[in-house]
Amino acid sequence: MQSANMLLKKFVRSSVLPFAAQHGMKKDLFPVSRTLSLSLCLKQDNSCNPSEKLDLDAWKKVMKSGLQEEVSETVSEHKELSTLAAAREILEMWRLAGRSVPENISEEQLKTFMECPSKSAKKKYLRYLYLKELYKKNDRRKMDEKRERRLETEERDSKTDETRRNSFICLWASCMDRAYSWRVAQSMIFGQPLVFDMSYEKDMSIREVANTVRQIVLSEGCNRRSVDPFHIHFCNFKDDSLYHKEFVKQYREAWGKLLITATDQCYTEVFPKDKLIYLTADSPKVMKTFDHDKIYIIGSMVDKSIKTGVSLARAKRLGLETAALPLEKYLLWNAGAKNLTLDQMMRILLTLKDTGDWKAALEFVPKRKYCGFVSRPVHELKKSLNLINTLKLGKRQEELRKQFTKNYSKKLMQK
Amino acid sequence: MALFFQTSQQGFQTLLWKCRLFWPVSRCQQLFAVSFSIPNREKVSYFSFMTSSNTALPVGSKRTDVFPTKKRSEINSEEKRGWDEETKEVSEEKRHFSSSVGAPKKRLMSQVLSRHKFTNVQPPEKPLEAEEWNRLRESFPSPEIFEEVMFNSMVRCNSPIDVAKSLLTHVAKSNGDIAYNLLVKYLVLCVQQRQTSEICDVYDIMKIRFKILESGAYNLLIRGLSNSDQWRMALTLLEEVKKIMTPSRTNYESCIKAASRHQEMNLAFELYREMLAKDLIPTLDVLQAFFDFSRGMKGAELQKELFGILLYLRENQIYPHKTFMRSIKLWFESIPGGNWRGHLTNIKDSGQCPVCNHQLEDSDLTEEEYNNLRERIIRDVIHGTDTFRKTSPQEFEAFQTFVENRLPFDIVIDGLNVSHIKPRRMQCENLFDAVNCLAKENARLLVLGRKHMLINSSNWKREIMKEMQNKADFFFAENISEDDAFLLYATLRSGKHCKFVTRDFLRDHKACLSNSLTRHLFRKWQRGHQIVFSPSVEGKHINFLPAFRYDCVVQTTGDTWHIPYKDTFEEKYSYQVPRKWLCIQQK
């Protein structure tokens, strides 16, 4: 650990500026040199009047002349293209036109692109691929830069070459892994169950399923590293479902060794019904405290197009108790939907389980969604607001109400 | 290598965990009392100092978790910032590695959108020499996108075409080639200034240079050529587009307009039909062009086609805007020997046209349509993907038997919606007033509510509720059920004389319906059966706006046409209908 700190300090101190400057210069130097040579040629005929001299259609000649030979080839090749190749051509043209189109596209992606039902769907899909590519490129660039910097520091370190004494061998990661696994294994026997309901596959698009699985992987990671993990159950989990395929894609060979319980049974068959609580943002009931004897169910669904009431409907159908997080009560909500991602849910539940402190737990709600914590519960605020109003307006409202009931009873008497 | 990273990461986490130094500062700031006197508008600014977390603090304050789930590379560089004492260096680091955790997307976007940043570039007035272009290029902050930015600004300022040419010449001479996107931008400029010969030239060059073109260039070419005397070329281009993709509706629009401008009506209609066959929705401009250019032309065939367009408006419940309406009126009046006369008018509530005393079609559906709509409402709105989403099977069953036993109702009231009519009064009073207003003439009422209305509370007094139940039938749904769907069902079940009362526009229910035909049917039915109300200023009185008696669509009797029109072009909400009409009659 210490060695790493040392390394880092060195990273920071070794400035990156010269390296970057070199690169930048190289880029700029090339065109500059070329344009310089050009301007030299042009200077010679600068003596005459520019407006006469300037041949405005010169570019057409250049374009037509320079490419005549190539053209003859392309024209001869001009035969009926297969649809895939044609699509590839169009994408290439779009890229040249400066649209958000990826440079490289696989056959599979191309097929997906062709199957998009509308023009806007195609555009969105291309944009998604394009951004994905950009992220990848940037990551690769960062990796390369980091490698270079590391090599530099290593060279410098090797010169100093001091042997460090350390009672620990560097096996941190595997040790930690083993410790975590022990904990999770214990939780599999003694821990509180937490159910992921895997029955939403038909409500989602393929991409949403992929996102869902990604979020579950994250939450499983959080759970594994927590002090007192949940015993995770995947219920209604069918083999060879989309979920399953995605999980295998994410976990690869670790999928078989994962310390969770996956079952195709419903949670109502596995657990007693009265202990189950379905967590859903649409629930009319608000969770007050975290109950250690109850079994919470999280619906594994990403709904990009907000599908209200899907999970609530599921809970209603099975006659389960439901609950929503008390977001309104503790947070001044700002914007955004109140459905949180699965990993956020997991972290909130873990924190509640360990501390029971709502404030600490709701730290995991994205900061952009709320303006701040409410120091006093909202209903108290409302009460004082009412008090102020009654002070301001006198006791008008109350009186009005009373008067109405009086009049009303009179009416009844008359009848 | 991997091992090294892992260890360092773990080490850091524990270290961070131990030294409270890196605990986000914002946490402490957030724990302060929120006073309720802040009006909504100012809330954001009031809290803004705690939400801007990724720039203000050198330590990533976004990270409030102990075990972050971020990419390792980012972690390392971020932690590094923590070691740094000087924020200046931090910012430099940020620029070079762009290791922003908070907003990688934003950063990416800025890379993507950087070419749109320079909006203040002024294109030159006159064509420039190559040397001058070079000088400009060098003075420009990011030379690699100089040409693109320059062309964009030329398009924006509508620079003379010669300036653009001089830049193209400069690019061609220095690179020996011109990139496709520059050609397209030049094409935009040409189309903007209607330089037909230039458009043709660019097209020739593009054809030589590229095997196929993309939709943007085709759009421009077709638009540019259809506005010129070379318009037939636009048609050949349209054929070319068809080979590689579905042409857009604007492509068709340009071609149709060009054809009808040159009095080739048959060709124009052929294109129009082709367009409809491809499920493209014609723009109102296209339809208007037909009427504009057939003015004064003779021919039964043509007349039939144009009547067909009017019927298309009827089918799709499209309302023409004022200028389009004027085109229609002028065309009618210009038909040789037709003796058509058009008048602008407002239709009375009774549905009688004041000009020709013709009674407009009433808004009732046929028996078949009623049944169809009811089935659809049950299938799509009430059941949808899951009956439990809006109600439950038992509850719906109970409601159905309830309605069957008490049929027919005259008015169905959305109790909760009505009860909010005057916010300063008790909710049950509002409902009470409404029921009293509607209960005249022995009308049979059904009020839909939710179970919480039965619990005695400050808003729902038990004795008043009891009193109301003598005057109307009540059905209380579960508190988490949707009462609107029940409202629709009960009204439809009672038949065509039954109306319903709510201020809701029912947009979300309309959206549940699966096909557009049913949606139109739904809107038509809604217009004819919804009673909207508003509180009057004084006292208990409530004003009810009666439902439309007549149907608000383009309609004809053979020798008269009645066409509703909008004042402006902008789209009205689907529940609003125009009140102004064009009445056309044959003398």
Whether B3 has its CB under 8 Å from any CB of chain A: the answer is: yes
A7 class by beta-carbon count within 10 Å (0-12 exposed, 13-18 middle, 19+ buried): middle
Domain hosting residue B429, numbered range: 367-543
Q: Where does the pLDDT of residue A78 fall: very low under 50, low under 70, confident under 90, or very high at 90 and above?
A: very low
With an 8 Å Cβ cutoff, are B96 and A20 in contact?
yes
- Span A364-386, pLDDT tens digits: 999 999 888 886 666 677 777 77
- B365 with B525: CB under 8 angstroms? yes
A134 vs B105, B112, B146, CA distance in Å?
Answer: 10, 9, 22
Which of A32, A42, A367 would best serve as a mutation to test chain B binding (most B beta carbons within 10 A)?
Answer: A367
Which residue on chain B is closest to A134 by alpha carbon? B108
Can you count the helices (H) and strands (E) in chain B? 26, 10
Task: Tell me, yes or no, whether B408 lies in a domain.
Answer: yes
How confident is the model over A202-216, as a mean pLDDT? 92
B479: domain CATH number is: 3.40.50.11980
Determine the Cα–Cα distance for residues A313 and B388; give it in Å rounded to an integer: 5
B408 prior amide bond cis, ω within 30: yes
With an 8 Å Cβ cutoff, are A363 and B27 in contact?
yes
A150 vs A4, A290, B48, B336, B586, CA distance in Å?
Answer: 12, 47, 39, 88, 90
Closest CA to B577 of B561, B586, B585, B566: B566
Whether B84 has its CB under 8 Å from any CB of chain A: the answer is: yes
Q: Where does the pLDDT of residue B52 fall: very low under 50, low under 70, confident under 90, or very high at 90 and above?
A: very low
Whether B245 has its CB under 8 Å from any CB of chain A: the answer is: yes
Return the number of CB contacts < 8 Å for A and B: 248
Q: Where does the pLDDT of residue B36 fall: very low under 50, low under 70, confident under 90, or very high at 90 and above?
A: very low
CATH class of A167-373: alpha beta
Which residue on chain B is closest to A218 by alpha carbon? B69
Closest CA to B98 of A145, A128, A25: A145
Candidates B14, B96, B137; nearest CB to A16: B96
With an 8 Å Cβ cutoff, are B212 and A4 in contact?
no
Closest CA to A270 of A295, A302, A303: A295
Task: Tell me, yes or no, whether B348 lies in a domain.
Answer: no
Closest CA to B419 of B448, B442, B395, B445: B448
Q: In which residue are the tokens 């007094």 written?
A: B461
To which H or E segment does residue A162 belong?
none
With an 8 Å Cβ cutoff, are A404 and B8 in contact?
no
Candidates B8, B65, B73; nearest CB to A142: B73
Task: Tell me, yes or no, whether B524 lies in a domain.
Answer: yes
Query: C-alpha B485: how far from its chain's center?
Result: 25
Cβ-based contacts of A60 with chain B (< 8 Å)? 201, 205
Residue B216: how many CA atoms within 13 Å on its side-chain side?
A: 18
For chain A, the straight-line distance linking the first and the last C-alpha, in angstroms and rounded, comes to: 90
How confident is the model over B539-551, as a mean pLDDT? 77
Cβ-based contacts of B126 with chain A (< 8 Å)? 51
- Which tokens go with B63? 């990270």
Determine the Cα–Cα distance for residues A162 and A147; give it in Å rounded to an integer: 22
B69 has pLDDT over 70: no
Residue A258 backbone phi and psi in degrees, to 5: -70, 140
Q: What is the pLDDT of residue B93?
A: 38
Cβ neighbors of A322 (< 8 A, separation 6 or more) are A277, A278, A279, A280, A283, A284, A285, A312, A315
Determine the Cα–Cα distance for residues B375 and B380; give it in Å rounded to an integer: 8
Task: Tell me, yes or no, whether B496 lies in a domain.
Answer: yes
Cβ-based contacts of A376 with chain B (< 8 Å)? 33
A351 class by beta-carbon count within 10 Å (0-12 exposed, 13-18 middle, 19+ buried): buried
Q: What is the pLDDT of residue B474?
A: 93
Taking the CA of residue A210 and the nearest CA in chain B, the distance in Å comes to: 18
Report domain extents, chain A.
167-373
Which of B16, B22, B169 would best serve as a mutation to test chain A binding (most A beta carbons within 10 A)?
Answer: B169
With an 8 Å Cβ cutoff, are B97 and A142 in contact?
yes
Q: What is the pLDDT of residue A185?
A: 93
Whether B242 has its CB under 8 Å from any CB of chain A: the answer is: no
Number of domains in chain B: 1
B67 has pLDDT over 70: no
Taking the CA of residue A89 and the nearest CA in chain B, the distance in Å comes to: 7
B127 has pLDDT over 60: yes
B222 has pLDDT over 70: yes
A61 has pLDDT over 90: no
- Span A10-32, pLDDT tens digits: 544 444 444 444 444 444 444 43
Whether B435 has its CB under 8 Å from any CB of chain A: the answer is: no
- Which tokens go with A185? 């294994």
Closest CA to B131 of A141, A46, A158, A374: A46
Candidates B108, B181, B464; nearest CB to A134: B108
Q: What is the pLDDT of residue B421?
A: 85
Cβ-based contacts of A51 with chain B (< 8 Å)? 126-127
Task: Tell me, yes or no, whether B478 lies in a domain.
Answer: yes
Q: Where does the pLDDT of residue B532 fall: very low under 50, low under 70, confident under 90, or very high at 90 and above?
A: confident
With an 8 Å Cβ cutoff, are A54 and B8 in contact?
no
Determine the Cα–Cα distance for residues B141 and B134; give it in Å rounded to an integer: 13
Q: Where does the pLDDT of residue B537 fall: very low under 50, low under 70, confident under 90, or very high at 90 and above?
A: low
With an 8 Å Cβ cutoff, are B67 and A71 in contact?
no
CB interface of B with A, residues 13-52, below 8 Å: 14-15, 27, 30-34, 36, 43-44, 46-47, 50-51
For residue B567, give the 3-state DSSP assignment: coil
Task: Name the DSSP letter for residue B550.
Answer: B
Determine the Cα–Cα distance for residues A183 and A20; give it in Å rounded to an integer: 46
Q: In which residue are the tokens 């737990």 written?
A: A361
B486 has pLDDT over 50: yes
- One-letter amino acid at B213 equals L
Task: Tell me, yes or no, whether B217 lies in a domain.
Answer: no
Task: Tell me, yes or no, whether B487 lies in a domain.
Answer: yes
Task: Tell me, yes or no, whether B343 lies in a domain.
Answer: no
How confident is the model over B357-378, as a mean pLDDT? 89
- Span B327-364, pLDDT tens digits: 999 999 998 888 899 999 988 888 888 888 889 988 88
Cβ-based contacts of B134 with chain A (< 8 Å)? 35, 38-39
- One-letter amino acid at B254 equals S
Which range has the top average pLDDT, A164-173, B101-110, B148-157? B148-157
- Span A305-337, pLDDT tens digits: 778 889 999 999 999 999 999 998 888 888 888
Q: Where does the pLDDT of residue B310 fall: very low under 50, low under 70, confident under 90, or very high at 90 and above?
A: very high
Higher pLDDT, B9 or B236: B236
Determine the Cα–Cα distance for residues A199 and B228; give it in Å rounded to an integer: 60
Taking the CA of residue A159 and the nearest CA in chain B, the distance in Å comes to: 20
With an 8 Å Cβ cutoff, are A375 and B33 in contact?
yes
Q: What is the pLDDT of residue A13?
A: 47
Cβ-based contacts of A203 with chain B (< 8 Å)? 385
Cβ-based contacts of A324 with chain B (< 8 Å)? none
Could you tell me how many residues make up chain B? 587
